[in-house]
Amino acid sequence: MFTGLVDHCGRIAASTPSGSGRTLRVESEFRELVLGESIACDGVCLTVESWDDRAFVVTAGDETLRVTTLGGKRAGESVHLERALRVGDRLGGHLVQGHVDGVGVVQRIVPGPTWTRVDFSVPVALARYIAQKGSVTVDGVSLTVNDVHDAASEHTFSVGLVPHTLAVTRLGSFAVGTKVNIETDLLARYAERLSAFPSPPGVSAELLRRSGFSG
């Protein structure tokens, strides 16, 4: 689990085929990593397989490559990095799993005097989980949705990037057409799943009774 608050930007040192996936060597500022720990790379939760004093190694499987932008990453490109949340850490962003839902595309960038507006288009399968004033993760960065727009041919949402976000992430270098990893809000996905299964009669009352909330 992550928060969407990027620790720093790392650099892809090598990207090589590994069966149907790819193995990435990522240069970072992280030290004293733990074998098997999770690190979000551009919002994708990956497992540390080895590391040294300069870089760590992870492997992205075929499903990960299918739904994210990692398959197109090449040596020299930068990625957002975040280590997993520890119990007791401040939750400054929102709950992020590192399970990317799909890829969005930058449609418009509007610089402003104090912040920059960026519009992203997303597939309809993702748009249904993105709501105004809700949370969304873009390349591993937790952002607040300013507004959404749904049309027959396109579904978009916009975010406002403050100077700090522009300074410490790669979002300020995005251009129209840039592809990004999108993870929608975890709570929205569970809410939809729960609504698809009406509770059997008496279940809610029984749960309340066992919890001590009813006599």
pLDDT digits (tens, 9 = 90+) for 50-66: 999 999 999 999 999 99
Per-residue confidence (pLDDT) for residue 203, from 0 to 100: 57
Domain assignment present for residue 153? The answer is yes
Do both 21 and 60 map to the same domain? Answer: yes
Do both 34 and 106 map to the same domain? Answer: no
Burial of 139 (0-12, 13-18, 19+ CB in 10 A): buried
Do both 48 and 120 map to the same domain? Answer: no
Q: For residue 152, name the pLDDT band (cuts at 50, 70, 90).
A: confident
Do both 122 and 182 map to the same domain? Answer: yes
> Does pLDDT of 145 surpass 50?
yes
For the chain, what is the domain count? Answer: 2
**Domain boundary residue among 53, 83, 113?**
83
**49 vs 23: CA distance, rounded Å:** 10
Do both 113 and 45 map to the same domain? Answer: no
Do both 109 and 178 map to the same domain? Answer: yes
Range of lowest pLDDT (26-35, 75-84, 86-95): 86-95
Per-residue confidence (pLDDT) for residue 194, from 0 to 100: 81
Per-residue confidence (pLDDT) for residue 89, from 0 to 100: 86
> Does pLDDT of 125 surpass 50?
yes
Per-residue confidence (pLDDT) for residue 215, from 0 to 100: 47
Do both 106 and 175 map to the same domain? Answer: yes
Domain that holds residue 112: 102-195
Domain assignment present for residue 55? The answer is yes
Instruction: Give strand ranges (E) for the chain.
Output: 8-18, 21-27, 38-41, 44-47, 50-51, 55-60, 78-83, 102-111, 116-122, 135-138, 141-150, 155-161, 179-183
Q: Which CATH number do you get for residue 59?
A: 2.40.30.20
Q: Can you tell me the mean pLDDT for 173-189?
A: 94
> Does pLDDT of 214 surpass 90?
no
